[in-house]
Structure 1
Amino acid sequence: MQVFKVRLQKPSSGVDPNDPAFLDEMLVTMKKNLRDKGMDDNIQLVWRKQPDGKVFQKEEKKKREEL
């Protein structure tokens, strides 16, 4: 099993990245890309959901403190 971290930039079209249709489409696209790069046909991709049920969380910008 391998785990990948995916970061998305805010889409200009206003699509919700946690929309089930969007998530399904992304999995299909990623699986196709992996197959094109030589991965086995029987690979399985799944999203890891957070406790709140969402896949993607907004990442807070951390401020750097100068010493």
Structure 2
Amino acid sequence: MQVIKVTLQKPNSDVDLNDPAFLDELLVKMKKEMRDKGLDDNIQLSWNKQPDGQVFHKEEEKRDEL
């Protein structure tokens, strides 16, 4: 098993990044991309949900401290 961290930039629309339909569609696209790059068809992808049930969380902006 391998864990990959995914960072998304939210589009200007009102897309809910934790919507199950969006998450499923994104997994399908990611699997296709991996197959196109030559990875085995037996690859299985899934989301690692946080304790609150969410997959994606908004990152706080990093501020430069002087």
- With structure 2 as the length reference, what TM-score do the two structures score? 0.93
Uncovered stretches (5+) of structure 2, i.e. residues with no partner = none
1:38-63 Cα deviation digits (max 9, x unpaired): 00000000000011000000101132
Partner of 2:13: 13
Aligned partners of 1:46 and 1:10: how far apart in 2?
20
Mean Cα deviation higher: 38-47 or 2-11: 2-11
Aligned to 1:10, the other structure's residue is in SS state: coil
For the aligned residues, what is the CA RMSD? 0.8
Partner of 1:35: 35
Identity fraction in percent: 73
- With structure 1 as the length reference, what TM-score do the two structures score? 0.92
1:5-64 Cα deviation digits (max 9, x unpaired): 111111122110000000000000000000010000000000000110000001011322
Aligned partners of 1:33 and 1:4: how far apart in 2?
15
Uncovered stretches (5+) of structure 1, i.e. residues with no partner = none
Mean Cα deviation higher: 10-19 or 40-49: 10-19
Aligned partners of 2:17 and 2:6: how far apart in 1?
11
Aligned partners of 1:13 and 1:61: how far apart in 2?
20
